Copies of this chain bind each other. A is one copy, B any other.
Amino acid sequence: MITIDALQYSRWSSEIFRQMRKGGLDCVHVTIAYHETALETLRNIGAWNQLFEQNNDLIMRVGSAEDITEARQAGKTGVIFGFQNCSPIEDDFSLVEIFYSLGVRFMQLSYNNQSLLATGCYEKNDPGITRFGKQVIREMNRVGMVVDMSHSAERSTLEAIELSQRPIAITHANPTFFEPALRNKSNEVLRALGDSGGMLGFSLYPFHLRNGPGCSCEEFCEMVADTAEIMGIDHIGIGSDLCQDQPDSIVEWMRNGRWSKTTDYGEGSAAQAGFPQQPDWFANSTHYGNIAQGLRQKGFNQQELEKIMGLNWLRFFETSFGPH
């Protein structure tokens, strides 16, 4: 069974990569930029190149479905780069192709706030995709970089689904019917996403779960089953949003970047300012088996289980990455 996680942002280490191998993780989409400029993003890629060199027995960079098969055969976890914001392309559409060449396969059009391309999910008003946004979606479609609307607002998301010539993804979010977080997605978005051939990755970030860290694996799998009813079994996967071993300074950076002079707590609060605790059944990358077991118990058959755990993402990657 192929296992793919469509989002993690951990404090990367050989220990974490070993956990990925132990958990049977074949491929992971990792965030390499939140608020970074183009140059800062190059430096992040530079740091990743050193991780690849130092851990070449555990991980390898992948940029296509074929690469993932190659990684599996080599007993390594394939790593796909992605941005959670469009800051790395600054105001220059031509940086889309350049970052594609460097292995970037996902870019969120916005991260919580209004961006140059689209509106984020924490803004009061959502005017939809901007003029520059339309140009960038076209360029992403051309080169084969996936539009990711995980942190974007409703109207912008629906417009991105409509405007994009190729299916888009929400790599890490849950339905609002399960937990009414601003980051989660309405049934309307889920239906439009599924109908257009897009993909949803279910998040295990506690703020996206019913009862936070107290959410049971059974509740999570119930949500998966309910979402499959809405979107179809072929359009769902895992996008755990696992942020492992990170100091709280990182969640502060994610939430505040350089844009907020006063502290913004995002989904947290002054009383709970740091990273939330993970549910104990999904604390790290050795725990994908718990999800698979939960899904089996929820009544998914083997074929459905394989689709959710990784096959749907693999098929999506096959047609989404690279020029048509």
A interface with B by C-beta (< 8 Å) = 37-39, 42-43, 45-47, 49-50, 92, 94-95, 97-98, 101-103
Contact = CB atoms under 8 A, between A and B. Distances in A.
For chain A, what secondary structure do more than half of its interface residues adopt (helix, strand, loop), or is it mixed? helix
Given A46-B94, A47-B94, A50-B94, 18 more contacts: A38-B39, A39-B39, A42-B42, A42-B95, A42-B98, A43-B92, A43-B94, A45-B98, A46-B92, A46-B95, A46-B97, A46-B98, A49-B94, A98-B102, A101-B101, A101-B102, A101-B103, A102-B102
Contacts of A38: 39, 42
A103 to B, nearest CB: 8
A45 B96 CA distance: 11
Contacts of A46: 92, 94-95, 97-98
5 contacts: A43-B92, A49-B94, A101-B101, A101-B102, A101-B103
A144 to B, nearest CB: 14
A103 B45 CA distance: 16
Nearest to A142: B53
A37 B38 CA distance: 12
Nearest to A61: B101
A57 to B, nearest CB: 17
A142 to B, nearest CB: 9
A94 B95 CA distance: 19
A92 to B, nearest CB: 7
A92 B95 CA distance: 20
Nearest to A100: B49
Interface centre among A42, A43, A103 (most CB of B within 10 A): A42
A40 to B, nearest CB: 10
Q: Which 5 A-B pairs have the closest CB atoms?
A: A46-B94, A49-B97, A39-B39, A38-B39, A42-B98
A182 B46 CA distance: 36
